Amino acid sequence: MEYLNEKEFLIAFGKNLRKARKSKGFTQSQLANDIGIEISQISRIERGIINTSVGNVNAISRALRVDIQELFNLIKN
């Protein structure tokens, strides 16, 4: 298993989040409203700019109805 540095990890996680969100038909605004955070925070997470909390990741996986493991299935690009 190859480990990613922090920046690579955040970018890969953000890409997975964006893919999952779009596949479930959510806009960034809808997801943000559903979990009670600012839309700009969803945008920053998806772009790999911020490192969100595990609590937010759990809320995101519940709102999107995806297995939390899917969000962490990261491939180095």
pLDDT at residue 76, rounded to an integer: 55
CB atoms under 10 Å from CB of 54, counted, come to 8
Which backbone phi and psi does 30 adopt, to 5 degrees? -60, -45
**pTM for this model (two decimals):** 0.90
Task: Encode pLDDT of 24-52 as tens digits.
Answer: 999 999 999 999 999 999 999 999 999 99
Q: Is residue 37 part of a domain?
A: yes
| Domain CATH number, residue 16 | 1.10.260.40
Task: Encode pLDDT of 44-73 as tens digits.
Answer: 999 999 999 999 999 999 999 999 999 998
Q: Is residue 1 part of a domain?
A: no
Q: Which domain holds residue 17?
A: 6-71
The total of structural domains in the chain comes to 1
More confident residue, 52 or 2: 52
CA distances from 26 to 1, 3, 10, 12, 64 (A): 32, 30, 21, 19, 8
Of 27, 33, 31, 29, whose CA–CA distance to 65 is shortest? 31
Q: Is residue 76 part of a domain?
A: no
Q: Is residue 55 part of a domain?
A: yes
